[in-house]
A and B are shown apart, each in its own frame.
Chain A
């Protein structure tokens, strides 16, 4: 099956040809199948934000290519524009991009740029607003009068209204309170719709990544350092820590227990898994 998104030896250098040149991505090979739910992690400056900006064609690779449905994103201007709409990208702190007089018009910005008919735009705006839990009465308010959490919802609705096949989010939950985080993650999972759409999101929280994603991609120094199921990634907890990634507390407890000589599975990332692992370990140790 053709992957929905694929990068081939994708390399990106900032400030090319000046004394400040810096390699942000170094020959990255990556592919995502339709319906996947992928978490991208890595410490600040590892290249993950630069990476996702290539996936919808915002940044042009210095060398290498990005393919959407097997076709080079930059093969024509027309296709590049289409990809912008089919791969929705939500930036970090997206509430700072709001600009319209009313919430309604702000959400409609994307669909209008797609040159859709007025009734289609209207339908999409209302659907997207409803999806993120904005009430009808909010639509006529100024986005600048809303609270931080509500602004973020408006911004997300603005991307969802384009009905992208792939939704990419850069730290969508940063700066939200725990309740807001929970709600937002639920929305994202709902958008994924059991595999009908593809979701890729950057997060700093290994807990979030482990809980929601089917696959975790770890970036380090402009390379993909690990790529696999959460369990496989967590099995390399020590390497993760060396890369400056904070692993869940419970994983660290289990790693330490293992260090102390207890034969337990330390690739766990929830308390329940840890209890199960300890029980299994205890059963095994009972003979001694």
Chain B
């Protein structure tokens, strides 16, 4: 059923990772990504992997959830791996038949590229699994604050993002309900060719759009009647504050990046 979709869902918890300031987690994720792309071979990757593994352990997110988040990307990972395998030239020839030759360097690159994509997704999944959407947008808004100087509507963008996130489950539920209602009147969403299927979607999409617009209108009225007028002079009930653990976590991040750069220089 539709409501079983769990893409990037937040898993509530009370671990060190959950308690970190969202800004810390955002910055750390960026540092992690930079480190991941700086690492070239074994030692660098091992370090980045260790960092992620320890973070996952601390967060108590089940490995199964991370793996199920990686599942949709299998095809991309495979294609990247295969392309690298065949197109990387090197010195140590492994296999050669017809016009295809596979080098040891190709195998290495293929494995590392596939690893890189998986580690990238796993790291960002950990961010969304341990940070509520509201915290995430709050953190983003705070981090992007300097851009206000050049008239980027940071608050408005963050607000739009949190409203959009907030309404995803609502719209999924609504879709479910309208589908059931039309099915009860004999609508058939499954059978028929492409055109028949597209046509069958109209009884679903039209009420869905109408209700989305109605909801938007009602929300706007509700916000206005509570005197919402954008970010100017707006204060928060939950202030973001950097604690000692945040600075410690950032220090670990800087250390990670420094080591990975060192390893890159050394070529290990």
The answer to whether the Cβ of B4 comes within 8 Å of any Cβ in the partner chain is: yes
The answer to whether the Cβ of B199 comes within 8 Å of any Cβ in the partner chain is: no
Cα of A144 to Cα of B178 in the assembled complex, Å: 16
The answer to whether the Cβ of A81 comes within 8 Å of any Cβ in the partner chain is: yes
The answer to whether the Cβ of A137 comes within 8 Å of any Cβ in the partner chain is: no
A175-210 vs B, CB cutoff 8 Å, 1 = contact: the mask equals 000000000000000000000000000000000000
Chain B proximity of A227: nearest CB distance (Å): 25
Interface size counted on chain A using CB atoms at 8 A:
26
The answer to whether the Cβ of B183 comes within 8 Å of any Cβ in the partner chain is: yes
Q: Which of B32-40, B81-89, B105-113, B206-214 contacts A (4 or more CB under 8 A)?
A: B206-214
Chain A proximity of B215: nearest CB distance (Å): 11
User: Quick one: which of B233-268 are within 8 Å of A by CB?
Assistant: none
Contact B185 A159 (CB under 8 A): yes
Chain A proximity of B228: nearest CB distance (Å): 26
Contacts of A222 in B (CB 8 A): none
Cα of A66 to Cα of B155 in the assembled complex, Å: 53
Cα of A97 to Cα of B208 in the assembled complex, Å: 8
Contact B185 A158 (CB under 8 A): yes
B193-228 vs A, CB cutoff 8 Å, 1 = contact: the mask equals 000000000110011001100000000000000000
In the complex, the chain A residue whose C-beta lies closest to that of B177 is: A91
Contact B181 A81 (CB under 8 A): no
A86-105 vs B, CB cutoff 8 Å, 1 = contact: the mask equals 00111100101111000000
Contacts of A98 in B (CB 8 A): 207
Contact B202 A15 (CB under 8 A): no
Contact B186 A144 (CB under 8 A): no
In the complex, the chain B residue whose C-beta lies closest to that of A56 is: B184
Contacts of A85 in B (CB 8 A): 186
Given contact pairs A91-B181, A113-B188, A158-B185, A99 touches B203 in the complex (Cβ within 8 A): yes
In the complex, the chain B residue whose C-beta lies closest to that of A15 is: B4
Cα of A89 to Cα of B188 in the assembled complex, Å: 16
With beta carbons under 8 angstroms apart, the residue of B181, B187, B203, B211 that contacts A94 is: B181
Contact A91 B184 (CB under 8 A): yes
Contact B186 A113 (CB under 8 A): yes
The winner among A58, A97, A110 for most chain B CB atoms within 10 A is: A97
The answer to whether the Cβ of A146 comes within 8 Å of any Cβ in the partner chain is: no
Contact A81 B186 (CB under 8 A): yes
Contacts of A15 in B (CB 8 A): 1, 3-4
Chain B proximity of A132: nearest CB distance (Å): 15
Given contact pairs A15-B3, A18-B4, A144-B210, A97 touches B181 in the complex (Cβ within 8 A): yes
Contact B180 A91 (CB under 8 A): yes
Contacts of A109 in B (CB 8 A): 182, 185-187, 203
Chain B proximity of A96: nearest CB distance (Å): 6
Chain B proximity of A145: nearest CB distance (Å): 12
Contacts of B206 in A (CB 8 A): 99
The answer to whether the Cβ of A24 comes within 8 Å of any Cβ in the partner chain is: no
Contact B207 A89 (CB under 8 A): no
Contact B180 A113 (CB under 8 A): no
The answer to whether the Cβ of A245 comes within 8 Å of any Cβ in the partner chain is: no
Contacts of B184 in A (CB 8 A): 56, 58, 84, 88-91, 159
Given contact pairs A91-B180, A97-B207, A109-B203, A162 touches B4 in the complex (Cβ within 8 A): no
With beta carbons under 8 angstroms apart, the residue of A53, A81, A97 that contacts B182 is: A97
Contact B202 A53 (CB under 8 A): no
Contact B185 A96 (CB under 8 A): no
Given contact pairs A18-B4, A96-B178, A84 touches B207 in the complex (Cβ within 8 A): no
A1-23 vs B, CB cutoff 8 Å, 1 = contact: the mask equals 00000000000001100100000
Cα of A18 to Cα of B181 in the assembled complex, Å: 26
Contact A114 B181 (CB under 8 A): no
With beta carbons under 8 angstroms apart, the residue of A14, A56, A96, A114 that contacts B207 is: A96
Contacts of A18 in B (CB 8 A): 4, 6
Contact A97 B4 (CB under 8 A): no
Chain A proximity of B191: nearest CB distance (Å): 9
Chain A proximity of B62: nearest CB distance (Å): 9
Contacts of B178 in A (CB 8 A): 96-97
Contact B3 A84 (CB under 8 A): no
Contacts of B207 in A (CB 8 A): 96-99
Contacts of A89 in B (CB 8 A): 184
Q: Which 3 A-B pairs have the closest CB atoms?
A: A113-B186, A99-B206, A97-B181
* B binding-site residues for A, Cβ under 8 Å: 1, 3-4, 6, 177-178, 180-188, 202-203, 206-207, 210-211
8 contacts between A and B (CB under 8 A): A91-B180, A96-B207, A96-B210, A99-B210, A109-B187, A113-B185, A113-B187, A162-B185
Since A96-B211, A98-B207 are in contact, a sample of 10 more A-B pairs with Cβ atoms closer than 8 Å, ordered by chain A residue number, is A15-B3, A91-B180, A96-B177, A97-B203, A97-B207, A99-B206, A109-B187, A109-B203, A113-B185, A162-B185
